[in-house]
Structure 1
């Protein structure tokens, strides 16, 4: 059990930050792809509204999953950090309040980063959702 806490003490921040960094990379990648696609899409290239909608909503699920789960990934990092802080406290004979507060404040940075990833992703997701609604509405109007 000690090995787990020692490993976590050294690497939990890096692991959580790497996961959230990868999620952020995916958000940027898919957002740029969608913006370029929305600029180039032509309604005339699609035979049905279903095919048009399928093409418009590509990668939206990934953005949804990221904005829904990034805070939880951050929270996992915070919980692990708090557990490590308490473990260190249990092993210490001299408990210093400053060390405890410092450990807890460091643990909270993971939640902050998770929220930092989630909020812009939610904004992007909603903006794309609105753009999709507008394009589908225009498809309906052109079909009449």
Structure 2
């Protein structure tokens, strides 16, 4: 019975945490592509109000930011669970086998690595999109100044 619980916990770590991180990375990539397509098809002449333009430009950017800032925590949670499982297994066996400890810890750390792999591109995408928003808003301001002269 104990081995079944341990097997389920290891599966939850692999499929739950790693699966969640993969989902987060897919969402980030999808939103980045969607925003870039929106920016490339944007016509400034469709907007009379800068605030309305800014609302449309910043749509979904907060989701990318949230994923970028929270992916390392999700990975860290997976690592903590993996380390707990390693210690639990060591306690059940009653002997200290350095090989099993190292393998267990290495597998636990893969969740942290995945969290960082998801977070870094998300933060880069977020920064690139913010810069694109600033450029578009500046172009809008320039067009409005020319229109008002």
Instruction: Give TM class, smaller chain.
Output: over 0.9
Please, what TM-score do these two structures have when normalized by structure 2? 0.92
Shift of 1:93: 2.6
Shift of 1:13: 1.4
Q: State the distance in 2 between where 1:15 and 1:66 align.
A: 16
Higher mean displacement: 12-21 or 70-79: 12-21
Q: State the distance in 2 between where 1:35 and 1:72 align.
A: 27
Deviation digits for residues 91-142 of structure 1, max 9, x if unmatched? 0133210100110011000000000000011001000000100111111111
Count matched residues.
Answer: 144
Shift of 1:8: 1.1
Q: Which runs of 5+ in 1 are unaligned?
A: none
2:35 matched to 1:34? Answer: yes
Q: Which runs of 5+ in 2 are unaligned?
A: none
Question: Looking at CA atoms only, which structure, 1 or 2, has the larger radius of gyration?
Answer: 2
Question: Deviating runs (4+, > 6 A) in structure 1?
Answer: none
1:22 alignment partner in structure 2: 23
**DSSP 3-state at the match of 1:95:** coil
2:134 matched to 1:127? Answer: no
**DSSP 3-state at the match of 1:94:** coil
**CA RMSD between the two structures:** 1.5
Shift of 1:29: 0.9
Shift of 1:27: 0.8
